[in-house]
Amino acid sequence: MGTDLHEPLGRNRAAARKPYGRLTAAAVFSVLGLVVVGAVSVYALLPSEKLSRPSDTEVTQAEKPAETAQSTGDIAAEKLSKDPGGLPREKSHSGAKVERTLTNDGSVVTKYSPKTRDGKGPVLIGTAAVGQDPRMAALPNDDLLEDSPFGKLPIIGKDGLRPVEQYARPWSGSRSTRIAIVVGGLGLSQTGTQRAIKQLPEEITFAFAASGNSLQRWMQEARRSGHEILIQLPLEPFDYPDNDPGPGTLLTSQSRDDNIADLHRALGKITNYTGVMNYLGGRFLSDADALDPVMRDIAARGLLFLDDGSVAQTQTGNFAKALDMPHAFADVQLDGQLNTDAILAKLDELERIARRNGQAIGVASAFDESIAAIRQWSDEASLRGIEIVGVSALATTP
């Protein structure tokens, strides 16, 4: 048993080893200094380019997939230049430089970059088939216009796109109760037009009178505010000339060519409209011979026709069906009595028709009383589950 009182019992300590000499601080720093100097020397001896860029082999390996993809893309040019349906794709991106690369795994990578402009072609590009980008709503689609002695007239695009589709106001697509309200006579009164644009919600459709003033200016304001628009065509009423719709009225006594010229004169006043609405026209709408060439021309231009429902003998429905053109009838004349309470009562009647049939169309003029009543009723309609839509959403489309 040892004599050390602090040693654990039952254990014998090993003989103590003789300690080696300890390194001094100066020696430690000397060793570290030699290591640092050696590392710096090795770094200096290496070629600079070895440290600044990868080897040629590495560059080749990095670039090889892109080169392979490009060559593969050239082989598959037919696949890349067409949609699955076989239609050319460059029209949708005509303002941009489009580069497509087919990678090794079969996927296509598309890169869009600005194209150097030469002053030709469109500057703004839209790709939607139905409805217009709100940022472009005040500008016409040049592909849907043709020049004429009466100004730019609407036409169907080469790809089949029609003005009724291009300028339609988007809607939810649900099958809830839908109502379209068309306020006409815009452009005849500056104050009335301004009040309608400022006070009525954007869901209301506007119809501009072809004989109005500053129509291009008002059209742009209405479109920027979100409204779908129509052009009102003056047609001969039964009591003409005592009741005269104004200059450029289409008459049953005129020749076909004269009526078509008056039609084109009206259509050329503005752009960006989805269709045509009659202004009066009891006699003209009930005369099939006079109406025939006019409806054919409107249909061929990709426009809808809204009949205000004021003429019992109207022939527009028969022609629309025969010509496969979008067509609609108004269900209620809202402001036959120019009184706010009476107009509100008509709006309630319009709502009952819509709940029974699923949809309804009401028409009014841009009178102060009409604007006030429509604004009040529209604010409450959504709370009752009613969706107010552009008139094109309710047109019968073949």
Domain boundaries, the chain: 56-114, 143-394
Reduce the DSSP state of residue 69 to 3 states and report it: helix
18 has a pLDDT exceeding 60: no
Task: Provide the mean pLDDT of the chain.
Answer: 81
Kindly state which CATH superfamily the domain 143-394 is placed in: Glycoside hydrolase/deacetylase (3.20.20.370)
Q: What is the pLDDT of residue 33?
A: 60
Query: Whose CA is closest to 295, among 271, 274, 270, 275?
Result: 275
**In sequence order, which residues have a C-beta less than 8 Å from that of residue 62 and are 6 or more positions away?**
54
Confidence of residue 122 (pLDDT cuts 50, 70, 90): low
Query: Whose CA is closest to 214, among 192, 234, 188?
Result: 188
Cβ proximity of 183 and 364 under 8 Å: yes
Q: What is the pLDDT of residue 175?
A: 80
pTM of the shown model:
0.69
Q: What is the pLDDT of residue 58?
A: 39
What pLDDT, in 10s, does the model give residues 220-254? 999 999 999 999 999 999 999 999 999 999 999 99
Looking at residues 9-29, what average pLDDT do you find? 49
Confidence of residue 37 (pLDDT cuts 50, 70, 90): low
Q: What is the pLDDT of residue 135?
A: 81
310 has a pLDDT exceeding 80: yes
